[in-house]
Chain A
Amino acid sequence: MTAIKKKKRVSKKSKTAWRKYSDINDVEEFLEDQRLEERLGKFDTKPDEELFVLDTHGDDKPEEKPDVKPEIKPLSAKQRKRALLSETPKCFEVLLPTSKVQDPNAKRNHVKPVGSKPSDLSKITKQRKLVKGVLAKKVEDIKKNKKIVAERRKKIKSIRKTYDKNIWGDDVLEAKSIPETLVDEFISPEAQLHNVPTTKRLRSKPALPKSVVTRKSVEVPHPGVSYNPSFKEHQELLQEVVQHEQKMMKREAHLHRVTTGMFSKVTPKEKENQWREEMSAGLPQPHDPTTDPDSEPSDNEYKAINPPVKNKKKDHKARRKQRERIAERERLKQEKINKKKITDIYKLRKIQSSLANKEKLSAELRSKRATKRAAREATAPPALSARKPPAREPEFVDPEQLTGDLRNLSNTTNLLKERFESLQRRGALAASKIMMKKKRKLKSYFKSGHKVTEKDIERYVNRDVGKK
């Protein structure tokens, strides 16, 4: 019987156990290999000559050849030094990378190469060039080029002001950024649009807001704002202004009523008293005989302010009576309903007409409301921000200021402001408060050494006197 070698079973339950018993030699070897490869370069990339040597003489020893040196002219010391110049110095070789592993930082900072600093030699050549006039020419060229560039830039800038093209020409397809090759009448528009690259495809802009489109930018003026208005039109305008003003006054009065007017005025003394009263509520007051409740003849019995409610039970008779009362009431109600049912049959036409009337009325009201809402929507300022755009105020000129001729016209309105508000009322701009920059307050003070006091002045004056 062969002894069966018992396989040693090891538990690899925990992480440490797993690490302990699993064999990772092959993995480590592989990794080692890989690192080596990285360091020295891959085998399969290396040329054959580097890896293999062609064996030409087998095992026999090579013959000793007489050492015949080729005729090389020995270099001079200077030449040797020159040759060494291009090589990296020995002292720096340590700094060069030996391994073939690529630099993990692909973008290293640029270090100024050797020779960027002007050397003695380069200085000499530069001097020579300066004398020769090469550099002067270069400078001239640079100047000329700069001028050309500036001119071009200026030209580009001034193009803006020349407007020398018809943008509403017939190059409609180009405007949609369709490639030139496809702008042809034989290609269907669907195909053209299909072939526009997605990045160049124009997103369709949603329609403009209704208020921007429908509301007029330059409103038709009221005939009363003429510089020489007829009396009637001027009066009409005046009426409008009056109505507007009345509305404003009413509103102001309302605001006053619901805010400031809501609080009654009190004298400071009353206020003080009120405060005292409020603050001392619940505190033990000094006994005041006048405020005592009228003393009744007390019978020495305790009496609660709110005596407990007694649950007094009804007896059978009371209950029966109550039941009967309820039933009777119910019966009467039913009777009334039944009676009404019969009479309603005769009232049918009347009911119908009343219903119809009601419906008519409600329809009328509905239509009225709808028209009112539509009218309000057509003119109401759009709510685009927390601030409301200012309401349109009727323009009005005092009749005293109306001279009726162009010579003595006075400036009363601010057209720019009107334009700005018109834009807001049309919904092209959200109404906003212009934030003004606050001026920094500078604190001024005397430097302690430069302070001029009364004493100083006195002394100054006295000095003059003393001189004399």
Chain B
Amino acid sequence: MVAKKKKKYSSGEGAQFITRKAALKKLQLTLKDFRRICILKGIYPREPRNRKRAQKGAGGIKTLYHTKDIKFLLHEPIIWKLRELKVFQQKIRKARAMREYQKMKKYFRDYPEINIDHIVKERYPTFIDALRDLDDCLTLCFLFSTFPSLKKVPPDQSLLCRRLTVEFMHAVIAAKALRKVFVSVKGYYYQAELEGQTITWIVPHHFSFQPQSKDEVDFKIMSTFVEFYIMMLGFVNFKLYHSLNLVYPPKLTAAFNADADKDLVDERAYVAERIAAMNISVAKIAGANEVEELPEIDIFNTEDTDPQKLEEAKLEAEKVKKLKTMFKGLKFFINREVPREPLVFIIRCFGGEVSWDRDHFVGATFDESDESIAYQIVDRPRMDKQYLSRYYIQPQWVFDSVNARTLLPINKYLMGAVLPPHLSPFVDKTKDQVYIPPEERELNDPNFKPLNEDDASDEDIEEASDEDNEEKEEDSEDAEAVLTKQYQQEVEQDSQSEESEDDIDPQKKKIAKEKKKAMAVTTGVTHKEHPYQKEIEDKQAFRLREKLVRKKHRNLYKSMKAGQEKRKKEIWLLRKKRRLHDEKVKEDKKAKKQKQKMQMLEAASS
């Protein structure tokens, strides 16, 4: 017998993929339901390696799915729910057409809801997985929280988004997890660090709702995404609150109760409520302590014990620790023209206290007349009534301070001042081998000394950090030397005093003296490290290590090194040019001044 001929595309890539139409047929779902279940279950269309084969010889570009994905969907109990829903939809449609509104209402009341919490667990087996995928979720939820009830969006969705986002912000405040803020024209970029995961999200600026043009975005699809994200964010919030020893759900203001939703029709009143909700602290679980501060970084003997890296990590940790309590004990008052939501969130994240005008918005905690207010945030050129006890600053100071991780000097941010540019904290730190003019460096690094203040600092700038370190080392060495000297002196004094005390028996004394001589300890010489010698040794060791670079990577390494050298040289050259230019300018200035002086003198004398 001849073996049966293998059918084409029954194995390999042809069998691996399935078109959307075939998938619909296999699952017996409508396109609408299929889209929904795919979004909920996290099943995405695929791009095959060989399209012709994957489409079983058919031309064009079809939407393909993995066959295994579709088989996986087959086992989903939700599919049965969807079919049930279909019956309901038919009933509702019929009732509407027959104008039996009573019936329709009843069907709407009994409309079954799909429970998808098991899908959250299935898609994100661990909490960390969920956190890692939170960017999109948060951005969409924040966006939907600004929407009124729309035609294609379920009525409770935007309400739920509002509640969950406020809850999440409370969690971030309690965990002090916010790290970076960036105000762009699109919205506020926030970056938080939760459980070691960096989460970035965008919160749109507060504008009144603008109707979307219908053919741009499919609201139905987006609302399905949000449906899943709401579920996910809810459970993430629950877990976060519990890990922070907070009570979940938190008691927020009345606006966030499900019953009261109809009372708040006014958009502005709602926004005010939301901000007020953010200004109250959430209840802690009874008997729970404060969340312990993370201990300092332990040093483990891992394989690459690069002291520099460790040092960097330590510095970073130190900075973050400082950042967390940056605004602690400071009171802020926000003027009414300033967007309050981001500021309240940020200030409370770093331990500050916020309030605003009691007459205009709800939820104010203290009045403007409070003398303990440290900063008042204003966004107007001048004010009639000003308090002497506080600084009047513009909102950008808060954002820039957070990104700089210290309280910046306020002189550039005072009321009415022209603001320095708001720089992005998200720039790649690895691209540090570029020339930065001193003006810009001053912007980025508050500790940096601008070069035109004193001449001595001019040269320091060139080798910024290296020299500093060395200086420190020398200092410490000096200190050690001083200490040893002191110790020796003390010891000598002691021995002298002993001598003076017991000069009773000369013989004994003699013996003692001899003994002492035998036991005498000569002053040791401290082992002195020659920094230059050490440098040479280090260099040699480095060269040896360089030799160990594999042949495969050698060329890459070489080109990398060459590039570094080149960039270093460029930087050096530009700095030199700048220095020469500055010196020239200075001299010119001096000469001019002198000339003026001379002229003045001449004028005076004549």
A interface residue numbers (CB < 8 A to B): 153, 156-168, 172, 175, 202-206, 208-209, 211-212, 216-218, 220-223, 225-233, 382-386, 395, 397, 402, 404-407, 409, 411-420, 423, 427-430, 432-434, 436
Contacts and interface: CB of A to CB of B under 8 A. Distances in A.
Contacts of A416: 143, 212, 217, 222
13 contacts: A160-B231, A165-B235, A168-B124, A205-B72, A217-B135, A383-B51, A405-B394, A409-B205, A411-B205, A414-B212, A416-B143, A419-B140, A420-B217
Given A206-B69, A223-B427, A218 B210 contact: no
B45 A226 contact: no
Interface in B208-238: 210, 212, 214-218, 221-222, 225, 231, 234-235, 237-238
B127 interface: yes
Contact of A404 (B338, B419, B426): B419
A78 B254 CA distance: 76
Contacts of B160: 161
A168 B185 contact: no
A434 B202 contact: no
Contacts of B231: 160
Given A166-B239, A208-B42, 10 more contacts: A166-B235, A166-B238, A168-B130, A203-B75, A229-B421, A405-B379, A405-B419, A406-B395, A416-B222, A417-B216
Contacts of A162: 249
Interface in B439-453: 440, 443
Contacts of A395: 184-186
A420 B201 CA distance: 15
A252 to B, nearest CB: 22
Given A226-B423, A386-B60, A420-B222, A415 B187 contact: yes
Contacts of A159: 115
Contacts of A222: 424
Contact of B396 (A228, A409, A414): A228
Nearest to B381: A405
A231 B47 CA distance: 42
Interface in B82-120: 109-110, 113, 115, 117-118, 120
B183 A226 contact: yes
A159 B115 CA distance: 9
B200 A218 contact: yes
Interface in B125-180: 125-127, 130, 133, 135-136, 139-140, 143, 156, 160
B291 interface: no
Nearest to B337: A407
A226 B121 contact: no
Contacts of A209: 44-47
B339 interface: yes
B15 to A, nearest CB: 14
Contact of A385 (B62, B66, B380): B62
Contacts of B44: 208-209, 212, 427-429
Contacts of B235: 163, 165-168
A160 B186 contact: no
Contact of A419 (B143, B185, B200, B426): B143
A419 B423 contact: no
A228 B339 contact: no
A235 to B, nearest CB: 12
Interface in B350-404: 379-380, 394-396
Interface in B239-254: 239, 242, 248-249
A432 B20 CA distance: 13
Contact of B113 (A160, A217, A405): A160
Contacts of B395: 406
A228 B419 contact: yes
Contacts of A232: 440
B37 to A, nearest CB: 13
A411 B186 CA distance: 8
B249 A226 contact: no
Contacts of B62: 385-386
B544 interface: no
Interface of A is mostly: loop
Contact of A417 (B121, B217, B234): B217
Given A406-B338, A409-B185, A419-B143, A217 B45 contact: no
Given A406-B379, A415-B143, A160 B183 contact: no
Contacts of B68: 203-206
Given A203-B71, A406-B379, A409-B205, A225 B184 contact: yes
Given A203-B75, A413-B186, A423-B225, A175 B136 contact: no
B184 A226 contact: yes
Interface in B390-434: 394-396, 418-419, 421-424, 426-427
B139 A419 contact: yes
B182 interface: yes
A168 B127 contact: yes
A111 to B, nearest CB: 28
A411 B207 contact: yes
A78 B207 CA distance: 90
Nearest to B339: A406
B520 interface: no
B136 A420 contact: no
B189 interface: yes
A466 B317 CA distance: 101
A382 B47 contact: yes
A418 B46 contact: no
A409 B395 CA distance: 13
B600 interface: no
A402 B338 CA distance: 17
B122 interface: yes
A446 B426 CA distance: 67
A97 B71 CA distance: 52
Given A206-B69, A218-B135, A407 B204 contact: no
Nearest to B137: A217
B69 A205 contact: yes
Contacts of B237: 163
B186 A415 contact: yes
A153 B421 CA distance: 56
Nearest to A433: B215
